[in-house]
Amino acid sequence: MNREEAVKRAAALVGQMTVEEMASQLRFDAPAIERLGIPAYNWWNEGLHGVARAGTATVFPQAIGLGATFDEALLGQVAQAISVEARAKYNQAVRDGDRDIYKGLTLWSPNVNLFRDPRWGRGHETYGEDPYLISRLGVAFIHGLQGNGAYLRTAACAKHFAVHSGPEAERHHFDAQVSLKELWETYLPAFEACVTEGQAEAVMGAYNRTNGEPCCANTYLMEEVLRGKWGFQGHYVSDCWAVRDFHENHKVTASPEESVTLALSKGCDLNCGCTYQRILDAYEKGMLPLEQIKRSAIRLFTTRFLLGMFDETEYDAIPYTAVECRAHLDLAERAAAESVVLLKNDGLLPLNRKALRTIGVIGPNADSRAALMGNYHGTASRYITVLEGLQDYLGEEVRVLYSLGAHLFRDREESLAQPGDRLSEAKAVCRHSDVVILCLGLDESLEGEEGDTGNAYASGDKRDLQLPESQQRLLQTVIDSGVPFVLCMMAGSAMDLNLASEHAGAILQAFYPGARGGKALAKLLFGEISPSGKLPITLYRDLAHMPAFTDYAMTGRTYRFVEQAPLYPFGYGLNYGDTAVTAAAADADTYEEAARNGLVVTVTAENRGSMDVEEVLQVYVRVDSPDEVPNHHLAAFQRVKLAAGSRREISIPVDRMAFSVVNDQGERVFSGNGAQVYVGFGQPDARTAALTGKHGVTLSLT
């Protein structure tokens, strides 16, 4: 069904409703209108990395791990699997008369906010810190969710619009101040791509204000940009209870009726929360025109018609058995494998199972289901932790010793014991092991959304980059033992890895790898497959040069603006091969030509190693313009397979917009006097070169 037909049907249906009935449909928990044959519908469902909060579903790696794959095709496949499972669960729920929350087809995903500050607790819900990477993965995810059939398979929602990335504790009253240049250079590109290219059916507004106006009633963002410049035709939904913040926290209105009127006048169609229960009050007081209520109702029913809720569709036959089917579980394992980033390897990896008698597995995240999941997750029928993955992989061939070593954040595991009550056991495991896999990090109880789980850190944000003291003591204990060890860091954000980088034989950044994460990690550790993930974020050495968390200016943040050399840079990741870009040529010589048509870079890539690998070819551009960001910016990427001892020629297109810059007025212009185009398997920065011992190829456009 096309949108024009859906709008006509929606308008005809809404035209039969009373004002009270229209108003009721603008709540997330819309009741049935039996006389019109309209069933109840709850709009709130989540699909960040699997259908969430509604029972069993395939649990894929958390979004930040999916970001580390740099794999658009994979993101599309993951999203398709999520949408198929959402349909399967919806079909069964409807047959059973279950219209509850988290059972619908409107998935409030993906989160395409930019991970600007490593302290933000919700950063692991995003695809990282780069606007281009987020844009490409976000569009692929939306296409996967919505499909290309006669109807939408599910409706995607790009969130949280816009300029939103903490602090969590202040989001209900915070005003994010940002220049027009940084707004269009950093904070809006992913949303623009998701709306104009991805055709996301929904956009969710953030809690905070941006430049003085609430994001769920923002004249510039919602009217001028979203529906004006971008031509958005879908529906707009508030973050949950964000409209209530207008009068209770932002103080831009004085009553719920004023908040309702303001939100609807700016085009916030759907209220996640309870404030829209006051729509009739505002209408009866003459504050709210009927036409605005009707407009939003039509938009919402347009989405329901596009989903085929009142028709027979090609998706009605998707059986419940599609949930956690073998193909989806295999895909989750593949995604987990691609998401892991090898940060350091002094030759310890891959492990040789024939040379090992005993392997120690230590740490609070070694046998933790929570460390697999991240947040906004479903429930897997089986979780494979790192410990279980190694036990399954090695069988009886190698003895696996295990110790918790430390509580995730408390100073002891047993309340009646003394502090550090698991350290002696960890020492014993080290003493009797040939090698140790040390699993440290966080989980959703330490980083996440404000109010989610009573986070140990204030409102889900981190205070700093340090591991909890209990884990710092455990790390030092393992170092002091002298046993060779691999650090497996399971966290959704940058952590302080300075000490580990000095002493660990190898470091794997595993993020939150999903329910099959332990199985994938076992294969990676023993070289059945090679690590291939790349960092979607910068791993800083410390926060010494980081601006205040509440400062939304980008100076000093992310690889495009950082001045201090990081510990591990954005785009970096090792593998078990010996890969390099040895030559490159472009089909354009001048900046003007590239700005007009884009260009294609033809690359010669080699793997001089003895193991087949996958790599991520990366193209960075720096325009010769005073309006360019301080450092280079990612302009293209492509996953490539490189067989052992092979040489390949690869062509990679670079869009013309990579050669644009944003001026102080927020205008994207082509004002360069030339450009540098760098091609490699990482950034063109000195730190990447020092870590890899490799340089890519730089091309100059005059």
Cite the active site residues.
239
Three-state DSSP at 309 gives coil
Interstrand relation of 599-607 and 646-654 (parallel, antiparallel or unpaired):
antiparallel
Measure CA 422 to chain center: 34
The H or E element containing residue 564 is: none
Q: Supply 598's token pair.
A: 């884009």
Q: Considering just the CA atoms, what is the radius of gyration of the chain in Å?
A: 26
What whole-number distance in Å separates Cα of residue 396 and Cα of residue 393? 9
Q: Order of strands, edge to edge, in the sheet holding 202-205?
A: 157-161, 202-205, 235-238
Closest CA to 130 of 551, 525, 536: 536
CA dihedral 604→609→615→619, nearest 10 degrees, is -40
Instruction: Report CA 367 to chain centroid distance, whole Å.
Output: 24
Nearest alpha carbon to residue 321 among 93, 88, 560: 88
CA 48 to chain centre: 8
Per-residue tokens: 556: 């000093």
Please give the Cα distance from 68 to 592 (Å, whole number).
33
- The token pair at 360 is 């120690």
Helix axes 326-339, 72-95, angle to 10 degrees: 140
- Rounded to 10°, the helix 290-306/256-266 angle is 60
**Cβ distance 89 to 320 under 8 Å?**
yes
